[in-house]
Amino acid sequence: DNNNNNKDEL
Amino acid sequence: MNIFRLCGDMSHLAAIIILLLKMWKTRSVAGISGKSQILFATVFTARYLDLFTSFISIYNTCMKVFFIGTVYFTIYLIYMKFKATYDSNHDSFRVEFLIVPVGGLAFLVNHEFAPLEIIWTFSIYLESVAILPQLFMISKTGEAETITSHYLFALGSYRALYLCNWIYRYYAEGFFDLIAVVAGVVQTILYCDFFYLYITKVMKGKKISLPA
């Protein structure tokens, strides 16, 4: 699913 | 990375530098809400727990270290070094009314019921309301120093630019994070009133004084 799993944002 | 997110991060960086310059140059924290800075420190601490476990890029790590370092330094300036100039009477927002609901919501609405994910969600929700004590303080004192207005304009612009980043990423990469987007919209909306005052007043060289 499209959630922010890779947390590459600040 | 895209231009919107880069501009957003630079705007965030600028806001923090403007705030530190204001404090260091004027040797005063007058008009600055210590409570908002404590909320921001909580946001960064909760969000960057993976600072040492997951490496994304040099840029990502440097920015996280800078954000965490400066927010705690700001708190040190407010509550210790320039404590005499801290206006605690006007910095009276009840932050427990933010932390408790936000904490509960993070438990109920998240992408995955896992500790790190819930803590990350908590930091996203908390960031969207972390500026409220600062805006509340300005409404109580009835005015904001021009440099504080620049700080708030840069800080508000950062998440507005992140909204553009998420629009871009949706169409360019099919990336979409509902929690971050909804919280980002709430966060940006909270600045709208201030943006209006900033553009109609500060841009014309006037000071912001409420009630407008």
B169-185 pLDDT per residue, tens: 999 999 999 999 999 99
Q: List chain B residues with pLDDT less than 50.
A: none
* Angle, CA of B155, B158 and B162, to the nearest 5°: 155
Measured between CA atoms, how close is A5 to chain B, in angstroms? 9
Instruction: Determine the residue of chain B that is closest to A3 in CA distance.
Output: B177
Q: Cβ–Cβ of B63/A8 closer than 8 Å?
A: no
Q: Is the pLDDT of residue A1 over 50?
A: no
pLDDT in the model for residue B210: 80
Q: For chains A and B, what is the number of CB pairs under 8 angstroms? A: 32
* Structure tokens given for B157: 């612009």
Q: In whole angstroms, what is the distance from residue B22 CA to residue B19 CA?
A: 5
Beta strands in B59-183 (DSSP E): 143-144
Q: Is B2 left (phi over 0), alpha (psi -120 to 50) or beta?
A: beta
Contacts of B81 (CB under 8 A, 6+ apart): none
Chain A residues close to B60, C-beta within 8 Å? 8, 10
Chain A residues close to B12, C-beta within 8 Å? 10
Contacts of B87 (CB under 8 A, 6+ apart): B29, B30, B31, B137, B141
Q: Cβ–Cβ of A2/B179 closer than 8 Å?
A: no
pLDDT in the model for residue B203: 87
B residues 26-85 lying closer than 8 A (beta carbon) to A: 50, 54, 56, 60, 63-64, 67
More confident residue, B96 or A2: B96
Domain boundaries, chain B: 3-201
Q: Is the pLDDT of residue A2 over 90?
A: no
Measured between CA atoms, how close is A2 to chain B, in angstroms? 6
Instruction: Determine the residue of chain A that is closest to B5 in CA distance.
Output: A9
Instruction: Determine the residue of chain B that is closest to A9 in CA distance.
Output: B60
The size of chain A, in residues, is 10
Burial track B62-100 (b if 16+ CB lie within 10 A, e otherwise): ebbeebbebbbebeebbeeebeebbbeebbebebeebbe
